[in-house]
Amino acid sequence: MTPPPTRRDEHTHGVGFGAYLHIPFCAHRCDYCAFATWTDRAHLVDRYLDAVAREIGVAVAAGLPQVTSVFVGGGTPTLIDPHRLTDLLGALPVAPGAEVTVECNPESLTTEHVDAYRRAGVNRLSIGMQSMVPSVLHALGRRHDPDGVARAVERARAGGIDDLNVDLIYGAAGETVAQWNATLQAAVALDPTHISAYALTVEPGTPLASDPGRHPDDDDQAEKYALATDVLGAADYEWYEISNWARAGRRCRHNLLYWSQGDYRGFGCAAHSHEHGRRWWNVRTPDRFVELITRGESAESSAERLEREARRLEMLQLSLRTAEGVPRDALSDEDTDALAGLVERVDDRVVLTVTGRLLANEVAVRLR
């Protein structure tokens, strides 16, 4: 794999074609997590990685396009032998200058991981920071300590990877505004190139869902989102999507591809793909995925195709989430006036205000 340049401007590359690799293994499931991850499948790791390699091989043989962005997510990719993971990356037809991201838990990112990743062309890491307050981490069911985040960032930079995202979550039970501010300030002090800040959501079937006393409060989350906007903006992080801020030229190209209805291929259990308006997704469990791929069968579970009008409306809804907004005529003048305070006109576009970002779904239903 050709190592990409260390700095990139996402505006020079177009939408491109993406690849997502799903690593479904975790040492521990966080209380809010509803992703396709397992803590009791370590015996499947080698067979699973072999199956993913085979799935990639079949796609490449069938003419998989060069990929301009790769995202390895999970689960916890850093639980996997880094050389096994980089073998998978090496099987992909990665374009020169591609953005290649690996998701990391701070407690399991080692110097060996960083070195192996960098040698394989990985040039971006996304670190699950969530909070820098121990009591908040405990409330989320996270097991790393705040100092571990700083150590992970230091390891990444020492190993030659300086394009770093940190993920934050706000709204955990007992988290005060002052504690959230402390987390934001600590994140800024680490000087990553990208910061994602997500409102805690209650997903069915999770430990959080079964404990109403820990459910987040809408007004509290609104106040914390406004604070994030102020703190990150003052630190020269550019807001470009509801939950994402970046230094100039460091927006996540893989995310931009999703929000632009770009084409991408997912590999592994529960991985989703999209090409030319057709979406499909693989079987959810690693056991079933391994079984199907080993038999030489497709792991596809189901699919859908959006008709032109549905795709157009979805594109508007996705665009609304971004700093670029939607064309002015996507909302009638009556709707725009009725949504005063939630949207504003900027030249020939309509964009969300900070308050509007919190109510983006309500604004989206007015699009036509």
Q: Of 217, 244, 259, which residue is a domain's last? A: 259
Instruction: Report pLDDT for 14.
Output: 52
Structure tokens at 186: 């600590």
Residue 176 lies in a domain: yes
Instruction: Report pLDDT for 234.
Output: 98
Q: Of 224, 259, 294, which residue is a domain's last? A: 259
Instruction: Name the 3-class secondary structure at 31.
Output: coil
**157/95 same-domain check:** yes
Residue 349 class from Cβ within 10 Å (0-12 exposed, 13-18 middle, 19+ buried)? middle
**192/330 same-domain check:** no
Residue 1 lies in a domain: no
**252/340 same-domain check:** no
**84/146 same-domain check:** yes
For range 240-262, the mean pLDDT: 96
Q: Of 226, 259, 292, which residue is a domain's last? A: 259
**314/250 same-domain check:** no
pLDDT digits (tens, 9 = 90+) for 211-239: 999 999 999 999 999 999 999 999 999 99
Q: How many domains does the chain have?
A: 2
Span of 11-25, 115-129, 132-146, 174-188 with lowest mean pLDDT: 11-25
Structure tokens at 105: 């838990």
Residue 164 lies in a domain: yes
Residue 291 lies in a domain: no
Q: Which residues contact 136 (CB under 8 A, 6 or more apart)?
A: 130, 172, 174, 175, 179, 183
* Mean pLDDT, rounded, of the chain: 93
Pairing of strands 278-282, 349-352: unpaired
Instruction: Report pLDDT for 327.
Output: 94
Taking each helix axis from N to C end, the angle separating 82-91 and 111-119, rounded to the nearest 10 degrees, works out to 20
Separation CA 205–CA 33 (nearest Å):
9
Q: Which residues contact 49 (CB under 8 A, 6 or more apart)?
A: 80, 84, 85, 87, 88
**95/197 same-domain check:** yes
- Report whether pLDDT(2) > 70: no
Instruction: Report pLDDT for 366.
Output: 87
Instruction: Report pLDDT for 60.
Output: 98
pLDDT digits (tens, 9 = 90+) for 333-365: 888 888 999 999 999 999 999 999 999 988 898
**220/355 same-domain check:** no
Separation CA 161–CA 146 (nearest Å):
21
**229/155 same-domain check:** yes
Residue 271 lies in a domain: no
Separation CA 238–CA 230 (nearest Å):
11
Q: What is the CATH number of the domain that holds 247?
A: 3.20.20.70
**210/141 same-domain check:** yes
- Report whether pLDDT(15) > 80: no
pLDDT digits (tens, 9 = 90+) for 159-183: 999 999 999 999 999 999 999 999 9
pLDDT digits (tens, 9 = 90+) for 270-291: 999 999 899 999 999 999 999 9
**229/107 same-domain check:** yes
Residue 126 phi/psi, 5-degree rounding, is: -115, 115
Residue 63 lies in a domain: yes
- Report whether pLDDT(11) > 60: no
Confidence category of residue 141, pLDDT binned at 50, 70, 90: confident
Where in the sequence is the domain holding 48, given as residue range(s)? 10-259
For range 52-71, the mean pLDDT: 98
Record the pTM: 0.93
Instruction: Report pLDDT for 7.
Output: 30
Residue 187 lies in a domain: yes
**90/202 same-domain check:** yes
